[in-house]
A and B are shown apart, each in its own frame.
Chain A
């Protein structure tokens, strides 16, 4: 769990709001699973003060990649980091996704920067021969930037946006039930990035009895399980339990999470 300095190999703006960072992880002596995250120090100054959790977007032999949305002070600072500078990272942290080796086709439902978390899963699925069907939801067409990345891993990508008036939950439900389910037999559903879409994924998973997982996002303090800042409620055997997203998650069974 120790933090260490990693060299930034690339840190580039890829759309109006999104940035792509690649860091050298040669020194990292630990496998990284899709859904896991790194706790990143955004600058050496005391503002922004806290680290930021960023889930892995792509895992390579000696590098990992992040896709991040420049939203607040921390990610803004991150965007100023130049190539060959070092960045203080802690990780990999948390419980990642579970990808069944028998799964033939999985459905990923991602909204906004949630795609960064699910893209790593699409990559892992590709390498084990599991086909991915992806619903990408975003504000604008420009924000659908991971579509090509996902298609590169053989995924069938369906895009919905506010810009085109296709991203309403009812539309997405129709897309899943009338189009995707007609074409593919989905073995598992995974989601990240939107409460409304996650609720939909939960409803569909329950109706059609498909197991699923969700990656949750929360404000974090320590990311080590000590501070209890990033809690979320899940239901197990009829009992509501408060769990820590950083250590017991960020990935949880979809049916257990109270959204």
Chain B
């Protein structure tokens, strides 16, 4: 008889039935038509901002080799719409809802954490301290360890759910920021976000992105993210959620073996609309083939 595969993982007090969830920038209710949300480990809708905002100028995406650059700029209908429309719609699924939060200041992060982190239908917060498309030439809150620690600890104090910090890869030492987030009380770390990038059309000599620079995602960045997961896992003891360039179950497993407890899928869904659920199936197949009964046994199992 086949052993029941154990795919449940925990991020702080949050329990996920499997380690696979969408990356916030690449997920919305509209994808109900493509995949069964009840199969996912968690739901992570697009980052929410306090007030509605229009996003960046066009073109907002361009293609690169094995990847894409985006500068969407968090187009958002604002917190009120999120609470009135999005949260009830996601709450219909029997899957934890992780609210991705974006804000303009530490105070605004705290204010939103207080509202969202005490909502009965929100199970965790992912603080997006790493979006490279906002003001300041791609600068993000998460580039400074002091701001990171302060922001996380203040948000943590007012939220009643696990708080995950989504780190930026656009730093010299991601470990330094990861340690700061852990010190601030983060329950988990998403490693990482898109890499600040630029592409130019040599015929017109113009940037391919309206905002000049944007965030690179896709398989081109995966080896960098795997390295960062490995580095962060060595210095932090809180769970890591890998994010960046996963296209297949094998890619997700690579991140888990490097030290991630869960994995987010973003750009892959643009290429294959059922990528997230396909990856869950591929992980089951792998576990079966390698006689891994518990996914947690794979976390950080890289042999050096």
By a beta-carbon cutoff of 8 Å, the part of chain A in contact with chain B is 1-3, 41, 46-51, 73-74, 90, 218-231, 242, 247
Within 8 Å CB of A247, what residues of B? Answer: 30
A242 to B73, CA, bound (A): 13
Instruction: Decide if A231 touches B34 in the complex (CB within 8 Å).
Output: no
Within 8 Å CB of B75, what residues of A? Answer: 228, 231, 242
Q: Quick one: which of B18-66 are within 8 Å of A by CB?
A: 25-28, 30-31, 33-34, 46, 54-55, 58-66
Within 8 Å CB of A224, what residues of B? Answer: 28, 30-31, 33-34, 269, 273
Instruction: Decide if B271 touches A50 in the complex (CB within 8 Å).
Output: yes
Within 8 Å CB of A90, what residues of B? Answer: 273
Our count of residue pairs bridging A and B at CB distance below 8 angstroms stands at 97
A130 to B30, CA, bound (A): 35
Instruction: Decide if A50 touches B274 in the complex (CB within 8 Å).
Output: no
Query: What DSSP secondary structure best describes chain A's contact surface?
Result: loop
By a beta-carbon cutoff of 8 Å, the part of chain B in contact with chain A is 25-28, 30-31, 33-34, 46, 54-55, 58-68, 70, 72, 75, 218-219, 269-274
Contacts A224-B31, A231-B60 known; A3 to B68 CB distance under 8 Å? no
29 pairs from A and B in contact (CB 8 Å cutoff): A1-B31, A1-B273, A3-B273, A49-B66, A50-B271, A51-B270, A51-B271, A218-B59, A219-B58, A219-B59, A221-B26, A221-B60, A221-B61, A221-B270, A222-B26, A224-B31, A224-B269, A225-B28, A225-B30, A226-B31, A226-B46, A227-B25, A227-B26, A227-B270, A228-B60, A229-B60, A231-B58, A231-B75, A242-B75
Q: Which residue of B lies closest to A47 (CB)?
A: B65
Q: A242's contact among B55, B64, B272, B273, by CB below 8 Å, is which?
A: B55
Looking at A1, A218, A229, the one whose CB has the most chain B CB atoms below 10 A away is A229
Instruction: Decide if A3 touches B272 in the complex (CB within 8 Å).
Output: yes
Within 8 Å CB of B270, what residues of A? Answer: 50-51, 221-223, 227
The distance from the CB of B149 to the nearest CB of chain A, in whole angstroms, is 31
The distance from the CB of B90 to the nearest CB of chain A, in whole angstroms, is 13
Within 8 Å CB of A50, what residues of B? Answer: 61, 63, 68, 270-271
A242 to B72, CA, bound (A): 12
Q: Which residue of B lies closest to A232 (CB)?
A: B58
Contacts A51-B271, A221-B270, A229-B61 known; A1 to B55 CB distance under 8 Å? no
Contacts A219-B60, A226-B30, A228-B75 known; A242 to B66 CB distance under 8 Å? no
Instruction: Decide if A49 touches B64 in the complex (CB within 8 Å).
Output: yes
Instruction: Decide if A226 touches B272 in the complex (CB within 8 Å).
Output: no
A228 to B54, CA, bound (A): 10
A219 to B61, CA, bound (A): 7
A222 to B273, CA, bound (A): 8
Contacts A50-B61, A73-B63, A219-B62 known; A226 to B269 CB distance under 8 Å? yes
Give 7 closest A-B pairs by Cβ, nearest first. A225-B30, A226-B28, A1-B33, A46-B66, A229-B61, A1-B34, A222-B270
A206 to B271, CA, bound (A): 40
Within 8 Å CB of A1, what residues of B? Answer: 31, 33-34, 273
